[in-house]
């Protein structure tokens, strides 16, 4: 046996493959080469699907052990991302009932493909629904780099609507640069603003569209730090605030009282070494929580819903799939 990045790999398994697919995928999520809740979820599901596709052993017990360790490695790469949790567990759902390695492999491969397909189609559906809220002459604001929120904006532009977009810089990673580049290349009239200019600009904004990393059972949204400030400024300005999120971003754990952990990242993302005195502390949270009362609607692939509907949608739409036992 060989241990690679917390993975215990049996001799029958292709060690190089696991290192390339599982460990590298996990590292790409950790270092934010792969970013965005939907992209992270699809990457995790796809990695496990390819893991199963290349697995060459015949011992079912060994396969389950290797799969468990591979799953843990992927999940540990972004422990606060419920999209990753749901994507991974949707991919391995039913494996415990498999009677052979081949059956388990086929199940995982099929689940992985189905999840990725559903995820991509969900973004397309959200785009069509959300685009209806943008009208000619509107001013729209977005934050960070949400594929779902950008899908709405690009769909409205594709439909021939003329409007302008204000995108936040989104420090410290400055994901706003990715956003404005993508929108500009699509032909959208876009302006990037510094994060602290949100309230200054908000009175001229008609709609705000943001993404979501996690949506709790009571309708609160966990998203890129600064999202709650946009929501508060929008509420003050009587501007519609829309969250664009696929239902697999609903967190089943919050139904049972679990809190959503807010990830903190390295201080080096904020200041360079030696730039400030060593005695100064840096607080660098990745996400914040936007209360349901500041959200006008959550745009999902099953429709535009009020935050209060999340619980019932979670139970009806996701069912037992989100209650997968560790």
Q: Which of 13, 213, 244, 296 is catalytic?
A: 213
Give the span between the Cα atoms of 187 and 174, in whole angstroms.
21
Give the span between the Cα atoms of 148 and 11, in whole angstroms.
42
Give the span between the Cα atoms of 32 and 78, in whole angstroms.
10
Cis peptide before 42 (omega within 30 of 0): no
CB proximity list for 12: less than 8 A, separation 6 or greater: 56, 57, 58, 59, 62
Q: Identify whether 144 is a catalytic site residue.
A: yes
Q: Identify whether 296 is a catalytic site residue.
A: no
Give the span between the Cα atoms of 152 and 130, in whole angstroms.
5
Q: Which of 144, 195, 288, 320 is catalytic?
A: 144
Phi, psi torsion values for 303, nearest 5 degrees:
130, 175
Q: What is the 3-state secondary structure (H, E, C) of 259-272?
A: CCCCCECCHHHCCC
Radius of gyration of the chain (CA): 21
What are the catalytic residues?
A: 144, 213
């Amino acid at each position: 046996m060989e241990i690679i990045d917390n993975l215990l790999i049996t001799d029958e398994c292709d060690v190089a493959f696991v290192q390339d697919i599982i460990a590298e995928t996990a590292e790409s999520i950790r270092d934010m080469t792969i970013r965005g809740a939907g992209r992270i979820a699809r990457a995790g599901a796809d990695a496990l699907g390819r893991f199963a596709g290349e697995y060459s052993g015949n011992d079912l017990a060994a396969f389950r052990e290797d799969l468990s360790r591979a799953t843990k490695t992927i999940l540990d790469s972004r422990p606060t991302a419920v999209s990753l949790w749901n994507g991974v567990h949707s991919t391995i759902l039913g494996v415990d009932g498999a009677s052979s390695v081949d059956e388990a492999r086929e199940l995982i491969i099929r689940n992985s493909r189905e999840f990725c397909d559903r995820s991509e189609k969900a973004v397309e559906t959200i785009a069509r629904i959300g685009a209806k809220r943008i009208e000619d002459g509107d001013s729209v604001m977005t934050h960070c780099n949400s594929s779902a929120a950008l899908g709405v904006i690009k769909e409205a532009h594709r439909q021939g609507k003329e409007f302008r977009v204000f995108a936040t810089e989104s420090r410290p990673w400055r994901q706003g640069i990715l956003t404005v580049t993508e929108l500009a290349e699509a032909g959208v009239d876009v302006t990037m603003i510094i994060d602290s200019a949100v309230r200054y600009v908000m009175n001229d904004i008609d709609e705000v569209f943001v993404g979501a990393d996690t949506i709790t059972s009571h309708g609160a949204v966990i998203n890129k730090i600064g999202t709650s400030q946009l929501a508060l400024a929008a509420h003050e300005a009587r501007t519609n605030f829309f969250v664009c999120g696929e239902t697999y971003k609903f967190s089943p754990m919050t139904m049972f009282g679990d809190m959503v952990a807010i990830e903190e990242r390295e201080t080096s993302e904020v200041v360079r070494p030696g730039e400030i005195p060593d005695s100064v502390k840096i607080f660098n949270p990745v996400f914040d929580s936007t209360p349901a009362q500041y959200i006008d609607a959550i745009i999902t692939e099953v429709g535009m819903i009020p935050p209060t509907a999340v619980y019932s949608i979670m139970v009806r739409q996701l069912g037992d799939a989100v209650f997968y036992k560790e």
